[in-house]
């Protein structure tokens, strides 16, 4: 078997965007292939952690990229960058003798694709999807198509966050309402759909496509609810402290809190007082802002890193936990919450069955063994993910 495999990742492509704007290319690929509309991401739904999970077929407990966490051993808050102790799908392809390339799928930089290696090329054009599409088309025009091509675009993430204007997309000011933020995101999705059609046209006719994402996006605005969480913990007799990266807790603190803005990670500094915490969380659950909670056992089941948290709390959509508790936030988007953990996973083309849209539980890390199957190689060495046998033809 010698088919070509294209792995597309659209950062922050929320499942809930599908059907809200015309996407004729995605619609056709869905009809001719398989779309899992509710694939589940892991914990935390932060870009490097989940992008690494998809290319390794393993959650952060295996590959070690877990972003911010309170490290009990050193007594400080640490933060991972591009760490990954597991093999990537591009490394598996390279070791199987296949040519590879990556257009800005940064988790594969130096990990199966490399700047200045024409057989295993990594390029980072920057800009939006339009520029990256041009670069991919140049790679495909200039020689034999790589057997495995990864393509990454983060337009939906940039526009969905709404942190800054994007003149490239004719947005000269940030969106002033949540509906404007959403309208801009959907408009961009329609444009990306057209560009996806052109990318597929540039690939050889024996191409298989896997398209997925690291996380979705939820909106929030107004004041942080973090002070309410702290007050509830104190009322229960606990001594919480919010810690930024590099900080160590003061003497007497028993619960270290870290946040990236939406969810709050709670970690015991030394002596766990689980029953007291459970009681405090029970009271918080009655509050208007309360979204959900996961204990350590649930975090383990979902593959979270052992250092990540003893307890994870998050507010429901619309609310947030940023540390700037005096600030009235404008309409923004964020994704480090399990609410952003349901995403699309699409397979199409050579070697893929025609099932159309499918519900049911799958995990985004299944993309790795599926890609390996389509390439005719073994999965990445540390992959723990189940493949998608229903979606794939046997050879």
Residue 214 near Zn ion by CB under 5 A: yes
Q: Which stretch binds Zn ion (CB under 5 A): 45-53, 344-352, 364-372, 387-395?
A: 45-53
Among 9, 11, 181, 230, which residue interacts with Zn ion (rule: CB under 5 A)? 11
CB of 342 to Zn ion, least distance (A): 14
Task: Report helix, strand and coil shares of the chain as percent, to nearest 5.
Answer: 30, 25, 45
CB of 11 to Zn ion, least distance (A): 4
CB of 198 to Zn ion, least distance (A): 23
CB of 14 to Zn ion, least distance (A): 11
Report the greatest alpha carbon distance in the chain: 67
Nearer to Zn ion, 295 or 317 (CB): 317
Nearer to Zn ion, 49 or 293 (CB): 49
Per-residue HEC secondary structure of 295-320 comes to EHHHHHHCCCCCCCCCEEEEECCECC
Nearer to Zn ion, 331 or 333 (CB): 333
Three-state SS for 391?
A: coil
Residue 47 near Zn ion by CB under 5 A: yes
Q: Which stretch binds Zn ion (CB under 5 A): 40-48, 192-200, 289-297, 379-387?
A: 40-48
DSSP for residue 346: E
Nearer to Zn ion, 219 or 227 (CB): 219
Inter-CA distances, 292 with 142, 263, 264, 287, Å: 51, 9, 11, 11
Q: Which stretch binds Zn ion (CB under 5 A): 209-217, 255-263, 292-300, 340-348?
A: 209-217
Q: Which stretch binds Zn ion (CB under 5 A): 43-51, 59-67, 71-79, 124-132?
A: 43-51
Q: Which stretch binds Zn ion (CB under 5 A): 79-87, 207-215, 218-226, 345-353?
A: 207-215
Nearer to Zn ion, 50 or 199 (CB): 50
Three-state SS for 144?
A: coil
Within 10 angstroms of residue 1's Cβ, the number of other Cβ atoms is: 9
Count of residues near Zn ion by CB under 5 A: 4
Nearer to Zn ion, 44 or 349 (CB): 44
Nearer to Zn ion, 216 or 349 (CB): 216
CB of 49 to Zn ion, least distance (A): 9
Nearer to Zn ion, 67 or 114 (CB): 67
* Subset of residues 283 to 312 that bind Zn ion, contact rule: CB under 5 A: none
Inter-CA distances, 121 with 21, 106, 111, 132, 142, Å: 34, 12, 11, 14, 13
Q: Which stretch binds Zn ion (CB under 5 A): 9-17, 25-33, 112-120, 143-151?
A: 9-17
For the chain, first and last CA: distance in Å? 8
Interface map 147-166 toward Zn ion (x if CB under 5 A) = ----------x---------
CB of 325 to Zn ion, least distance (A): 25
Closest residue to Zn ion in the complex (CB): 47
CB of 232 to Zn ion, least distance (A): 30
Q: Pinpoint the alpha helices (H) of the chain.
A: 24-32, 47-56, 60-63, 89-95, 129-141, 155-161, 178-202, 226-235, 274-284, 296-301, 367-375
Residue whose C-alpha is closest to residue 365's, from 52, 5, 45: 52
CB of 213 to Zn ion, least distance (A): 7
Residue whose C-alpha is closest to residue 263's, from 45, 13, 77: 45
**How many Cα neighbours within 13 Å face the side chain of 346?**
27
CB of 193 to Zn ion, least distance (A): 19
Phi/psi for 234 (5° steps) reads -65, -40
Nearer to Zn ion, 207 or 213 (CB): 213
Question: Is residue 162 a contact partner of residue 332, using CB atoms and an 8 Å limit?
Answer: yes
Within 10 angstroms of residue 310's Cβ, the number of other Cβ atoms is: 18
Nearer to Zn ion, 43 or 277 (CB): 43
Three-state SS for 7?
A: strand
Whole-angstrom distance, CA of residue 218 vs CA of residue 196: 24
CB of 47 to Zn ion, least distance (A): 3
CB of 166 to Zn ion, least distance (A): 16
Q: Which residues of the shown chain bind Zn ion in the complex (CB under 5 A)?
A: 11, 47, 157, 214
């Amino acid at each position: 078997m010698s088919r070509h495999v294209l792995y597309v990742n659209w950062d922050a492509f929320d499942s809930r965007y599908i059907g809200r704007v015309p996407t004729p290319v995605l619609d056709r690929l869905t009809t001719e292939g398989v779309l899992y509309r509710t694939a589940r991401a892991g914990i935390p739904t932060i870009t490097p952690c989940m992008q690494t999970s998809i290319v390794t077929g393993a959650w952060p407990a295996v590959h070690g990229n877990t972003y911010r966490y309170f490290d009990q051993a050193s007594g400080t808050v640490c933060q991972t960058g591009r760490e990954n102790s597991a093999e990537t799908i591009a490394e598996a392809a390279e070791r199987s003798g296949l040519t590879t390339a990556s257009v800005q799928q940064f988790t594969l930089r130096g990990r199966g694709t490399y700047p200045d290696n024409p057989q295993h090329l990594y390029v980072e054009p920057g800009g939006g999807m339009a520029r990256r599409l041009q670069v991919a088309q140049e790679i495909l025009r200039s020689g034999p198509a790589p057997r495995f091509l990864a393509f990454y675009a983060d337009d939906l993430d940039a526009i969905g966050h709404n942190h800054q204007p994007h003149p490239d997309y004719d947005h000269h000011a940030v969106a002033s309402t949540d509906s404007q933020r959403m309208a801009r995101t959907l408009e961009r999705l329609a444009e990306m759909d057209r560009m996806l059609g052109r990318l597929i046209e540039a690939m050889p006719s024996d191409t298989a496509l896997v398209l997925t994402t690291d996380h979705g996006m939820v909106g929030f605005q107004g004041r942080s609810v973090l002070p309410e969480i702290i007050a509830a913990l104190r009322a229960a007799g606990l001594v919480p402290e919010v810690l930024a990266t590099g900080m160590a807790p003061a003497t007497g603190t028993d619960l270290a809190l870290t946040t990236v803005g939406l969810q709050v990670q709670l970690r015991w500094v030394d002596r766990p007082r689980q029953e007291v915490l459970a009681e405090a969380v029970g009271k918080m659950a009655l509050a208007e802002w309360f979204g959900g909670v996961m204990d350590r056992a649930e975090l383990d089941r979902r593959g979270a890193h052992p250092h990540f948290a003893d307890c994870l709390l998050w507010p429901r959509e619309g609310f947030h936990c940023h540390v700037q508790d005096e600030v009235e936030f404008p309409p923004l988007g964020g994704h480090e919450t399990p609410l952003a953990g349901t995403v699309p996973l699409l397979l199409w083309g050579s070697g893929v069955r025609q099932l159309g849209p499918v519900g049911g539980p799958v995990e985004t890390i299944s993309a790795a063994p599926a890609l390996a199957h389509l390439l005719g190689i073994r999965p990445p060495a540390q992959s723990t993910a189940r493949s998608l046998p229903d979606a794939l033809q046997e050879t």
